[in-house]
Amino acid sequence: MTTDRSAGRVRLKDVADLAGVSMKTVSNVVHDYEHVSAAMRTKVQSAIDELGYRPNLTARRLATGKTGMIALAIPEIDQFYFAEMARYIGEEAGRHGYRILVEQTLNDVEAERAVIRDREEGLVDGVIFHPARIDTLEIARLRPGTPLVLLGEAARPLNTDHVMIDNTRAARDGVEMLLRAGRTRIAFLATVRGDITESTHLRLLGYQEALLAAGLELDPRLVLQSDGFSIEDGVRALASAVESGVAFDAVLCRDDLFAMAALRALGQAGLRVPADVSVLGWDDTAVARYSTPALSSISPDKRALAATAFALLEDRMQGYDGIGRHEIVPHSIAERATT
Amino acid sequence: MTTDRSAGRVRLKDVADLAGVSMKTVSNVVHDYEHVSAAMRTKVQSAIDELGYRPNLTARRLATGKTGMIALAIPEIDQFYFAEMARYIGEEAGRHGYRILVEQTLNDVEAERAVIRDREEGLVDGVIFHPARIDTLEIARLRPGTPLVLLGEAARPLNTDHVMIDNTRAARDGVEMLLRAGRTRIAFLATVRGDITESTHLRLLGYQEALLAAGLELDPRLVLQSDGFSIEDGVRALASAVESGVAFDAVLCRDDLFAMAALRALGQAGLRVPADVSVLGWDDTAVARYSTPALSSISPDKRALAATAFALLEDRMQGYDGIGRHEIVPHSIAERATT
DNA sequence: GTTGACATTTACAGCGCTATAGATTAGCGT
DNA sequence: ACGCTAATCTATAGCGCTGTAAATGTCAAC
């Protein structure tokens, strides 16, 4: 057995020559094509083994026009939520013979535009994109030739497929759970200065709807404001509410990070969780399981999100070219120790 | 302006025909080749714009033999440490004109073998691989044709490039810091049943060295044992130590996850952190910044890790074929509220 | 021994782009 | 004008694989 890895790579042609057959026959063996005689299969296979042949994927792609890859464009791979989505989408794609190319947009508008503008032309068969900055109009305008499915609530152009959970409904569910547990002064942490995404808004809306539906009055002082997305910003937002004397017995947080901020701020203020104040996070990321006390969190069904997004994309990759489909995926509430 | 996206894609040839020039000239314009007259450049560019031409990356790759992509093979993308490494490596690669393909091995031996065996033949120019299950010997034996750089301490074959921090030294540094703060009964959380990786062992070694160097006796009861890698396992390990009456005033944890477990177990046992017990994590992942109290953690220089790994890989991709280089990257200790 | 009807196998034209070698044009000194 | 070098541009042969159409084999039935 000669496995020559040093010299120029072994080509399909080399195998064909050694086995004394045509290239197509080798190709057939490689692809387990059914109409190949057993003898031929054996002969070719041993030539393959002898030379250590391995198909060149790039050439295959050029010939077939299929790359077997999809791009996953997300703001930051090291944010828990996106990392988890990357995992699930990667697994789902893998099950269907696709692999994923992770593209970080790092919240940069230009990077997001590049994603929409067939940036990956001929590199991937489709794109799953969670936009953060770019808006609906622009996506519709730059409408790419490559199959595209959108995630998140930032942008929802009519002509593009889109998957999300019902944020408003989920927020309502969360508040109702808190209400059932006897909490009546529920704060929302937090609207963020300069936040141009839709998520917070939708969640806040659900929060308000639930309160009104329960016959409670909306107290604007309970809708906290944060100067930014960092944990320190969140801590400050909650701490200053406590200092200013606003009373509350529960906090619905726009994401798990702010929930961690709430835990810290409440701890520093000497308030016990959940005895004095319940805390409910959002996204049910790993950090919710790791924190002390373990964080209750609104839990989008991430696997369903991944599976649905992939299914829609696969549909497009197989030629569907109709109007945008907008799918709502289930959510639940992971109850742990903070409520 | 006709931007035809529906029909078959626009090819280089189409642009050449429209502009009335050769394909190579169009290619030259696309690549900003210097020896192209301004007039020609303008003419070709407008043909490109008119047709909405966009190069097919796959074809380019086949022709050049370079893919501009590197694979990052890691156990799980949704583990904080790996997600952060993915981010840094992605950024570093991006700076050098490369993109990354994330490959999750999900701790599966076969998947790891596949990574080593030119799985990505012709798909990527190189591979950065953080093995978890596969061992040194096997990597050496399966030595791939594709440039490869290893991360982590699981495997260190002589013939392959490798980047890591000095784990033993880092553990010693951590223990010394605890010692300087007056702690004398330092526990190690934890050795894990069935753990076949080297990391824990190296860290435990450093822990013991530091203790001995300080003239303290090694108390085997302080080296806790966990049944698995989950947070619950970690909590149980520490809780049972507390119950069995072993006294300690600090815990060095093998990773941030176990540190979170320590925080929870200590909280449940009514011990205060850091007043009664200091807790020092490992990896300095985001969760360390988010927890309450914020976790002190041994901090590998992840950017340096990423940059070094990429540099070694680039070197190989550019033809270096010498012996394996083994680089040690700096670490520090991020001191927060638990020490 | 032939004939169909299939089962196998082959030959080769692309896939879209790059790169080499050669053709053409331009610039300049004399 | 002429010759010569340098700057531009063109023609075309691959890169390694797949898919189509055609060629060849095989086997049962006549």
> Looking at the complex, does the CB of residue A158 fall below 8 Å from at least one CB of chain B?
no
CATH code assigned at B17: 1.10.260.40
**Dihedral angle at the C-alpha atoms of B210, B215, B219, B222, nearest 10 degrees?**
-40
Listed in sequence order, the residues at least 6 apart from A119 whose beta carbon sits closer than 8 Å to its beta carbon are none
Q: Are residues A123 and A45 in the same domain?
A: no
SS3 A255: coil
Distance of alpha carbon A268 from the chain centroid? 33
Predicted pLDDT of residue B135: 83
Q: Name residues of chain A where pLDDT drops below 50.
A: 1-7
Alpha-carbon distance of B1 to B336, in angstroms, equals 59
Asked whether residue B277 is domain-assigned, the answer is yes
B255 and B244 in a common domain: yes
**Would B61 be classed as within a structural domain?**
no
D10 nearest neighbour residue (CA to C1'): B22
Hey, CA dihedral for B32, B38, B40, B46, is it positive or negative? positive
Q: Is there a domain that residue B316 lies in?
A: yes
Strand C–CB A2 distance below 7 A = no
- Chain B window 24-83: residues with CB closer than 7 Å to nucleic chain C are 24, 27, 30-31, 53, 55-56, 59-60, 62-64
Tell me the count of A-B CB pairs closer than 8 A. 141
Q: Clarify whether residues B207 and B292 are in a common domain.
A: yes
Q: Are residues B113 and B235 in the same domain?
A: no
Distance between CA A163 and CA A297 in Å, rounded? Answer: 20
Q: Look at chain B and report how many structural domains it folds into.
A: 3
As a residue count, chain A comes to: 339
Which residues get their CB within 7 angstroms of nucleic chain D? A 8-9, 11-13, 23-24, 27, 30-31, 53, 55-56, 59-60, 62-64; B 20-25, 28, 34-37, 39-40, 59, 62-63, 65
Question: Please, what sign has the CA dihedral across residues A40, A42, A43, A47?
Answer: positive
How far is residue A81's CA from residue A79's CA, in Å, rounded to a whole number? 6
Rg (CA), chain B: 26
- Evaluate if the CB of A123 falls below 7 Å from strand C: no
Q: Which residues of A touch B122 (CB under 8 A)?
A: 55-59
What number of H helices and E strands is found in chain B? 13, 12
Do A137 and A158 contact (CB within 8 A), yes or no?
Answer: no
Which segments in chain B show pLDDT lower than 70?
1-8, 118-120
Q: How far is the CA of B24 from the C1' of D7 (A)?
A: 16
Residue A100 and residue A223 in one domain: no
**Residues whose CB falls within 8 Å of the CB of residue B56, separated by 6 or more in sequence, listed in order:** A62, A121, A122, B9, B11
Residues comprising chain B, all counted: 339
DSSP of B260-320: HHHHHHHHHTT--TTTT-EEEEES--HHHHHSSSPPEEEEE-HHHHHHHHHHHHHHHHTT-
User: What backbone phi and psi angles, to 5 degrees, belong to B297?
Assistant: -155, 145
**Tally of CB atoms within 10 A around B252:** 29
pLDDT 10s digits, B127-173: 999 999 888 788 888 777 789 999 998 777 888 999 999 999 999 99
Determine contact: A267 vs chain B, CB below 8 A.
Answer: yes
Please say whether the beta carbons of B203 and B258 come within 8 A: no
The reply to whether B177 and B293 lie within a common domain is: yes
B253 inside 8 A of chain A by CB: no
How far apart CA B61 and CA B120 sit, in angstroms, is: 14
| Cis-peptide, bond into residue B157, ω within 30° of zero | no
Sign of CA dihedral B146, B202, A87, B286: negative
Instruction: Characterize the bridge pairing of strands B326-329 and B161-165.
Output: parallel
In terms of domains, do B271 and B312 share one?
no
- Asked if B325 CB < 7 A from strand C, the reply is no
B280, B253 contact by CB (below 8 A): yes
Dist. CA B165–CA B283, nearest whole Å? 11
DSSP string covering B194-229? T---SHHHHHHHHHHHHHHHTTPPP-GGGEEEESSS
For residues B306 and B163, give the distance between their C-alpha atoms in angstroms, rounded to a whole number: 9
Nucleotide nearest to B60 (CA to C1'): C17
pLDDT of A206 reads 97
Residue A72 lies in a domain: yes
- Coil, strand, or helix at residue B73? strand
Residue B337 included in any domain? no
CB contact under 8 A, B77 and A57: no
Query: Are both A182 and A219 inside the same structural domain?
Result: yes
Q: How far is the CA of B23 from the C1' of D4 (A)?
A: 29
Amino acid identity of residue A189, one-letter, is L
Q: Name the CA dihedral angle for A45, A48, A52, A56, rounded to a multiple of 10 degrees.
A: -120
pLDDT of residue B116: 81
Burial class (CB in 10 A: 0-12, 13-18, 19+), B37: exposed
Give chain A's end-to-end CA distance (angstroms, integer): 65
Q: Would residue B7 count as lying in a domain?
A: no
Asked whether residue A246 is assigned to any structural domain, the reply reads yes
For residue A83, the chain B residues in CB contact (below 8 A) are: 77-78, 80, 83
What pLDDT is stored for residue B157 in this prediction? 82
* β strands within chain B, DSSP E: 69-74, 99-104, 126-129, 148-151, 161-165, 186-192, 223-226, 250-253, 278-282, 296-300, 326-329, 331-334
Query: CA-to-CA distance for A88 and A151, rounded, in angstroms?
Result: 13
Same domain, B75 and B171: no
Find and give the residue nearest to D16, measured CA to C1': A59
- In terms of Cα–Cα distance, which of A99, A100, A129, A133 is closest to A115? A129
Distance CA B259, CA B234 (A): 8
Q: Tell me the CATH number at A178.
A: 3.40.50.2300
- Amino acid letter, A21: V
* Same domain (yes/no): B207, B184: yes
Is A249 an interface residue toward B (CB < 8 Å)?
Answer: no
- Amino acid letter for position A164: M
pLDDT of residue A3: 38
Q: At what angle do helices A80-95 and A302-317 cross, to 10 degrees?
A: 50
pLDDT in the model for residue B282 = 98
Based on the domain organization, do B30 and B179 belong to the same domain? Answer: no
Flag whether B1 is in a domain: no
- The pair of structure tokens assigned to A244 is 């200013």
- The 8-class DSSP code of residue B107 comes to T
Q: What is the DSSP letter of B157?
A: -
Q: Do A287 and A229 fall into the same domain?
A: yes
Give me the domain span that covers residue A43.
12-55
3-class state of residue B101 by DSSP: strand
